[in-house]
Amino acid sequence: MLKIEMKPARTLLIAAFLIALLWRLEVELRGWDGLTWLGYFHISIPLGGLLFLGWIRFVTRSDERSTKIVGFVTIWGLIVSFVLDYAASVYFVGGAAAMGYVMTLGALFDYVHWLSPMVWGASILALYAGYRCFFRFSPAVWIIGFVLWLASWHLGLIVVSILPERGYHDLIHALKTGWLIPFCVIAVGLPIVSLTHDTKRTGAARP
């Protein structure tokens, strides 16, 4: 049975919504119309990343592997942020560079277009494989986190459809409004919450 320590779980929820709020505020202030928001560097991405790393450091401060975990997540986050930014630009055909690239692809665009969601799914598997190098966690955590990561776009879409948000009720607005972000952050942080629970239960969890 999956048991989660409430304090780390609560702080993860707070961090998830704060990161989403940073994203939303930046999009609102720097450009909402059309695909303008795909054309500039989002300061909220590194700020949100630092906030998440701070959360990891906070909840794993008593664990000797804390620095290694923070370092690994930092490297993973840097790689994934660039890859997913490119994938999102191509998937939604946003920005002059992406438009020009898509025009050169011709018939291959369909393959690249549908490859983006596959990259999205593979990225969380890479993260969880890295986590496994540092500590053990329940198979239930793998399954719940992986499903939550994959479903984040559609869960964000459900929230956008329910709330009186601007724009269309589609996948691009699930990202643009930031409502998919809390689900992504929770999926990435869930194994860390599980780690803190196991460490406190056993006294010194070992890989």
Task: Give per-residue pLDDT as tens, 92-102.
Answer: 665 555 555 55
Task: Give per-residue pLDDT as tens, 119-159.
Answer: 778 888 888 888 888 777 778 888 899 999 989 988 998 99
Residue position matching structure tokens 């890989």: 207
Alpha-carbon gap, residue 148 to 154, rounded angstroms: 10
Give the pair of three-digit tokens for residue 187: 């999926």
H or E element, residue 117? helix 109-134
Alpha-carbon gap, residue 180 to 156, rounded angstroms: 4
Q: What is the pLDDT of residue 5?
A: 47
Q: Which residues contact 81 (CB under 8 A, 6 or more apart)?
A: 45, 49
205 in any annotated domain: no
Q: Which domain holds residue 74?
A: 6-195
The answer to whether the predicted template modeling score (pTM) of the entire model surpasses 0.85 is no
206 in any annotated domain: no
Q: What is the pLDDT of residue 110?
A: 57
Give the pair of three-digit tokens for residue 149: 């990561």
Phi and psi, residue 42, nearest 5°:
-90, 110
202 in any annotated domain: no
Per the structure, the count of domains in the chain is 1
204 in any annotated domain: no
